[in-house]
Amino acid sequence: MRIDKKVNKKPVKKILLIVVVILVFAAAYLITAHAATLWPFRANPVASTVKSTPSSTASGSQSATVGAKATDTANSSSTGTTTKNSSTDGSSSSPISSDVSIISSGQNGDTLSVRTLIADIESSGTCTLTLSKGSTRVTNIPSVGIQAGPSSSTCQGFDVSISQYGITSGTWTIVIDVTSGSTTNSTTGTVVIQ
């Protein structure tokens, strides 16, 4: 005589279904977090917000050479000033009708990263980064384009090699010039290099 033992597969199916649902939600969060640069994909965990304060730009005579990327972590800070647009041809109409601000700047190993925000949607133009500290001025950093978003724009981002541009430790002044057509907006900030 043979006894058939019935195996109840319902608890195994329920557990498997719960695990699959959890994995789907985790994958969806990771994709969304990566696209929005949320945790754990945030490059600089403490992004500095720019506050308007008066500042002047330092000028000098030294400059350095070309840049590359690296990845390590070090401390940094930034503050900044937003300057309204100025037209190079003397007219008051401007393609860039909004403020430009530095939303984050920081050191990541041998790389200085600077990110900006343009309050309006701009589809064309260039962003130029100038760094200065005392009599040292770095002006030969390649310009980047403007990238339009759904409600604002941004410079495509600056990732500057600290060693190749001769950027030494200390507090550096950051100047971002955003040019579209004949109009330029500027913003100024500082960053501490370790």
At 182-193, the pLDDT tens digits run 888 899 999 999
At 104-140, the pLDDT tens digits run 999 999 999 999 999 888 888 999 999 999 999 999 9
Structural domain boundaries of the chain?
1-42, 78-193
Distance separating alpha carbons of residues 184 and 143, to the nearest angstrom: 14
Retrieve residue 107's tokens.
């050191």
Residue 79 identity: T
At 40-93, the pLDDT tens digits run 766 543 333 333 333 333 333 333 323 333 333 333 444 444 444 444 444 333
Q: Which of helix, strand or coil describes residue 132? A: strand
CATH code of the domain made up of 78-193: 2.60.40
Q: Greater confidence, 94 or 33?
A: 33
